[in-house]
A and B are shown apart, each in its own frame.
Chain A
């Protein structure tokens, strides 16, 4: 088990290094000179050169690359041109919001998926199954911006039940702790639903297929013959065996969400890695681009690794040595 984890981490580190290289060269492909954005035309050449040097824009590509890698090993990604701050600081400010949004969305997806499949397993009715199949496909295929606008239109514009943007209302920082957190939760609901609903639809389909497969096994029949209640059988016997595909998918999904849910962040005016990455790309802000994409990449690699390890923990059969 420990060797598995160590091997996984080693591979992950190699991947991260490869990612850093790839992202560096891809970002240098972008045409346009970022220096023009922050160096005024009237600045003399010597100062312009010094600024370029400071921001790591002078010298050949290999030279820039090596100095950048060296910087990372010292824990410094660089200064952002467009935001005039250290990149790590900017990401440190923004990443918690994305973690929160992604974490809540995944949690809600799991809860919804398991809940829906549980309700379906209570009574074996083909019409319910049909309805579930159609509804889940429809929900799964709707683009995220549609869902966002639909939710906004229903809950905010017409009826003012939920707030429409940001994570806090105006002036809430003077109110009590309870109000602040309640306000925060209220703001969180619509964006999390926008992210979670399509994902939950997809997850529930896979879970249902897996549960159906496990439900045909002998040990489930045995449990039923013992007279256990359906709920007990579902949560104690079926679910642990059927959860495997959900973990893999959940890991992938978490990674994608951590890279930033751009459209949701844009529509709900939320701070997040998605908006930050896009703004950095359009401003040709190399250090920030690199910082954001590295963070996203590491998030994806880490989530996959986590999913693999969880899978191995839950299912001892996979822990064995891989025969190539």
Chain B
């Protein structure tokens, strides 16, 4: 009996003590709690492949310039960050950066131009195998093809560094603005062991934040870095990232106040969430992600059998008129309304509407017209046959497998609805779920006839790998679309630095893609960030969520 009583008292004491700690909620330096769906894989920008990990690394590591997005024109502008100033040379092939002097890494070692050179030699080094290796493409190369780092990133003195590029291209400042790494740490590590080295878990940076603790699978805590040369962090809050894999749990925790920010709210919950007792405000960011139904434009069997030499149009989807008819048969407005609650816009091509300088707003999205679709298919020789009235031509049925990766309920929903709408025009689609891990690989190997996918577009215009006709070199051209004029436009636009010129080319590209419909472009999905109304100073935009984190406050 006494044991029992003791236990009861102990429980009561614990609860009271715990409750007391929780009530001290109104401290000024209260941390901001953000929910993440996945854990960070590594705190090293060389290897981090996740977008959120990239944002966290941007908070920890400094860079020469920071991007800012001009919403009116849709252009990316760069302003000096670690560099005090920078100027282009006359032929625009060289950029000189002047660094601040008397600036230090978080372990109090001075930052010099040598750090910049070491960083870029790491990015470019094939031994390291960084995921950002493409940044080195524009650099000066040696005769054997490897990057000549001494010539590309020239150290003049401790605070001056000059970037020499092979030619001028729009992404020069973007590539030069990659996160910088401390040379005094990375010089001591053998390049082969870099990937698994312990320093990836204890990063040393000079950004506004530094890593206080990382409990794998649970929590990441970033605290303000007092030595940061980039911003003053006296009033910056501590950032706590909690890893909550279930979306529903994230939502419940936001509502109960356990977390302050949810990074992507589903559109269906938008209305419900703002009407609760806890005040939650929403920020709607224009779409960077578009969804599409992909059609395989070529016959993959003959392509694979001949090792990539024989390229024939796909028996069902090879003809652009068929693809256009299929686009007419899909009620994309209804999909947008039903699945995304209208948090998005219809897509006419792969270029996002917020790139005002490149977006062709004269293109009208195809209207939903199943009668017209049926008519067009009939004119192309597809006739309904049999009890089920499936379209047939030359003995071939218009039936195919529509592939969707597992673990993506949104695309499954889209697929289910698309299947129904195609059935209304007598096209038979069966849904096939493919395991996520092999999905992208199989797409690049062109294994599927039709599929549903989505792309997140970077802020640097990057369309070459998606629409170039050289299929062997561009595995990301997953629809295998080929068009000579598109190739011309892509090459020209890739190196044009004048947005007006480049803009004209991109607009023409879009009208060609809109006419040919290599994909049925569905819609651009807006992102909704839900957060505690008490949070001030958040300037969340297309660039990302955390770039204004040092200015946040409760």
Contact = CB atoms under 8 A, between A and B. Distances in A.
Nearest to A40: B131
A134 interface: no
Interface in B261-297: none
A48 B128 CA distance: 10
A30 B435 CA distance: 10
B493 interface: no
A270 B17 CA distance: 24
Given A44-B126, A47-B129, A172-B21, A269 B243 contact: yes
A282 interface: yes
Contact of B441 (A32, A173, A266): A32
Contact of A42 (B134, B252, B437): B134
A269 B246 contact: yes
Most-contacted residue by chain A among B130, B215, B407, B436 (CB, 10 A): B215
A164 B21 contact: no
A33 B441 contact: yes
A320 interface: no
B256 A164 contact: yes
A153 B343 CA distance: 29
A36 B441 contact: yes
Contacts of B246: 266-267, 269
B133 A164 contact: no
A43 B217 contact: no
B249 A269 contact: yes
A75 to B, nearest CB: 17
Interface string B186-222: 0000001001100011000000000001011111000
B258 A163 contact: yes
B126 A165 contact: no
B256 A156 contact: yes
Interface string A157-192: 100100111111111110100110111011000000
Given A164-B258, A284-B437, A183 B18 contact: yes
B438 interface: yes
Nearest to A157: B252
A164 B252 contact: yes
A85 B47 CA distance: 13
Interface string B214-237: 011111000000000000000000
Given A43-B126, A164-B249, A282-B436, A271 B441 contact: no
B240 interface: yes
Given A152-B252, A156-B252, A284-B437, A39 B129 contact: yes
A175 B24 CA distance: 11
Interface in A36-60: 36, 38-44, 46-48, 50-51, 54
A283 interface: yes
B133 A40 contact: yes
A221 interface: no
A79 interface: yes
Contacts of B13: 182
B242 interface: yes
B253 interface: yes
Interface in B129-174: 129-131, 133-134
A9 interface: no
A180 to B, nearest CB: 9
B189 to A, nearest CB: 13
B298 to A, nearest CB: 21
Interface stretch (A86-94, A236-244, A294-302): A86-94
B26 interface: no
B51 to A, nearest CB: 16
A276 interface: yes
B127 interface: yes
Contacts of A167: 218
Contact of B41 (A40, A79, A82, A86): A82
A93 B216 contact: yes
B244 interface: yes
B375 to A, nearest CB: 42
Given A44-B126, A165-B249, A186-B14, A276 B134 contact: no
A86 B196 CA distance: 8
A179 to B, nearest CB: 5
Contacts of B126: 43-44, 46-47
Nearest to A179: B21
A160 B196 contact: no
Contact of A271 (B47, B130, B217, B475): B217
Nearest to B125: A47
B42 interface: yes
Contacts of B31: 170-171
A121 to B, nearest CB: 20
A84 B21 contact: no
Interface residues of B, number: 49
Nearest to B240: A170
A124 B37 CA distance: 52
A31 interface: yes
Contacts of B213: 173
B133 to A, nearest CB: 4
B21 A31 contact: no
A166 to B, nearest CB: 6
A46 B129 CA distance: 11
Interface in A188-236: none
A282 B437 contact: yes
A246 B407 CA distance: 38
A311 interface: no
B252 A178 contact: no
B244 A165 contact: yes
A83 interface: yes
Interface in B439-480: 441, 475
A32 B438 contact: yes
Contacts of B308: none
Contacts of B18: 179, 182-183, 186
Nearest to B256: A160
A199 to B, nearest CB: 22
A165 B253 contact: yes
Given A84-B42, A84-B195, A266-B245, A169 B22 contact: yes
A267 B246 CA distance: 6
B240 A171 contact: yes
B437 A185 contact: no
B33 interface: yes
B129 A43 contact: yes
A33 B253 CA distance: 37
A84 B196 CA distance: 5
A181 B15 CA distance: 11
B41 A267 contact: no
A33 to B, nearest CB: 7
Contacts of A163: 258
Contacts of A41: 475
Contacts of A44: 126
Contacts of B242: 165-166, 170, 269
B295 to A, nearest CB: 24
A114 B386 CA distance: 67
Given A40-B129, A79-B196, A179 B438 contact: no
A166 B253 CA distance: 11
A144 to B, nearest CB: 14
Given A42-B134, A157-B255, A164-B249, 5 more contacts: A31-B438, A84-B47, A84-B196, A166-B219, A173-B213
Interface of A: 30-33, 36, 38-44, 46-48, 50-51, 54, 79, 82-86, 90, 93-94, 152, 156-157, 160, 163-173, 175, 178-179, 181-183, 185-186, 266-269, 271, 275-276, 282-284
22 contacts: A31-B435, A40-B129, A42-B134, A43-B126, A44-B126, A83-B41, A84-B41, A156-B256, A164-B256, A165-B249, A165-B253, A165-B258, A166-B219, A166-B242, A167-B218, A170-B240, A170-B242, A170-B258, A179-B18, A179-B21, A271-B216, A271-B218
Closest 7 A/B residue pairs (Cβ): A182-B14, A271-B217, A32-B438, A42-B133, A43-B129, A269-B244, A182-B18
